């Protein structure tokens, strides 16, 4: 990818795209300043699908733009409500928006996999129609049960049906950077939070690890020296933060582009 040839950059995803500290999307935004960030912490692939379609219609995305998507894990429930707008509580194994009764009645990993792979296929077809240059990435393998190394069982027929779809998505952050185990890199950001008595160990990739991921997937990419300096600086700042509230003070509140209505 030659970043200089693109007029605009569109990024989509969950907290692996927009987080407390800069991510891969922020790194690329240093190379393509006209950036539109359609990402939301806790978002699943249904939210991402909605965001991609809306961005295509709103901004008339074309061959002069770059679109990059970081797909999330499939066991998520995104909903748009009258009261709260988008509800994106994240991984259903670690959330409190949907109670035990909902989980017992509606949770089905195969159903979530079917839903999300059809959405990914729909995104691919929609992007191809625009002629845009796009890259597809993932947080974890689509058939990861709970965003870890446990794989779903009884879903081979779904994987086979969507094999060509899956092949168009680059290997996941879990596999490339963490080698299938979130605990494989012990040097993690650690800070005090309001939800844990113990110091919270954060396994979200650091900005430096986001850069490493990009370079592993796209080894021909070159970044400006200012961008590389940015990565080193914010990574150190991330480790310097000792309390959850420190991140907003250091990095500010990450705002969506004014054109984003989601």
Cα-based angle 258, 259, 262 (whole degrees, multiple of 5):
95
Q: Establish if 38 belongs to a structural domain.
A: yes
Model pLDDT, residue 253: 57
pLDDT at 148: 83
State how far the Cα of 231 lies from the Cα of 61, in Å rounded to an integer.
28
Structural domain that includes position 143: 3-251
CATH code assigned at 153 = 3.40.50.1110
pLDDT at 209 exceeding the cut of 50 = yes
- DSSP code of 3? G
Measured between alpha carbons, how far is residue 199 from residues 48, 80, 129, 184 in Å?
A: 31, 33, 48, 19
Residue 162 lies in a domain: yes
Residues 122, 109: Cα–Cα separation, whole Å: 20
* Averaged pLDDT, 200-214: 97
198 vs 63: CA distance, rounded Å:
49
> Does residue 258 fall inside a structural domain?
no
How much is the mean pLDDT over the chain? 93
Classify residue 260: in a domain, yes or no.
no
- Residues 129-174 pLDDT 10s: 999 999 999 999 999 988 888 899 999 999 999 999 999 999 999 9
- Evaluate whether 82 touches 24 at the Cβ level (below 8 Å): no
Residue 256 clears pLDDT 50, i.e. is over it: no
**262: in domain:** no
Q: Is the torsion defined by CA of 139, 145, 151, 157 positive or negative? A: negative
Name the domain count of the chain. 1
Residue 10 placed within a domain = yes
pTM, to two decimals: 0.93
Write the DSSP string, 15-79. Answer: TTTS-SS--HHHHHHHHSSSEEEEE-TT--HHHHHHHHHHHHHHHT--TTEEEEEEE--SSB--E
Mean pLDDT over residues 75-90, rounded?
91
| 259 domain residue, yes or no | no
What's phi and psi for 138, nearest 5 deg? -150, 150
């Amino acid at each position: 990818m030659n970043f200089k040839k693109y007029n605009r950059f569109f990024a989509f995803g969950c907290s692996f795209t927009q987080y407390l500290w800069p991510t891969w999307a922020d790194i690329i935004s240093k190379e393509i300043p006209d950036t539109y960030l359609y990402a939301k912490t806790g978002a699943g692939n249904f939210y991402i699908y909605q965001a991609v379609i809306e961005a295509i219609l709103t901004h008339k995305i074309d061959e002069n733009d770059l679109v990059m998507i970081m797909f999330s894990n499939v066991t998520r429930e995104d909903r748009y409500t009258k009261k709260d707008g988008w509800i994106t509580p994240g991984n259903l194994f670690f959330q409190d928006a949907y109670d035990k009764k909902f989980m017992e009645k509606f949770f089905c990993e195969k159903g979530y996999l079917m839903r999300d792979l059809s959405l990914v296929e729909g995104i691919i077809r929609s992007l191809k129609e625009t002629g845009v240059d796009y890259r597809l990435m993932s947080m974890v393998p689509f058939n990861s049960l709970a965003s870890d190394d446990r794989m779903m069982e009884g879903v081979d027929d779904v994987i086979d049906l969507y094999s060509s779809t899956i092949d168009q998505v680059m290997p996941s952050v879990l596999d490339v950077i963490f080698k299938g185990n979130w605990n494989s890199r012990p040097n993690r950001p650690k800070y005090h939070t309001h939800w844990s008595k113990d110091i919270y160990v954060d396994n979200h990739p650091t900005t430096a690890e986001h850069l490493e991921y990009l370079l592993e997937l796209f080894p021909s990419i070159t970044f400006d020296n200012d961008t590389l300096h940015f990565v080193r600086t914010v990574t150190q700042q991330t480790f310097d933060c000792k309390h959850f509230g420190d991140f907003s003070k250091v990095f500010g509140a990450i705002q969506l582009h004014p054109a984003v209505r989601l």
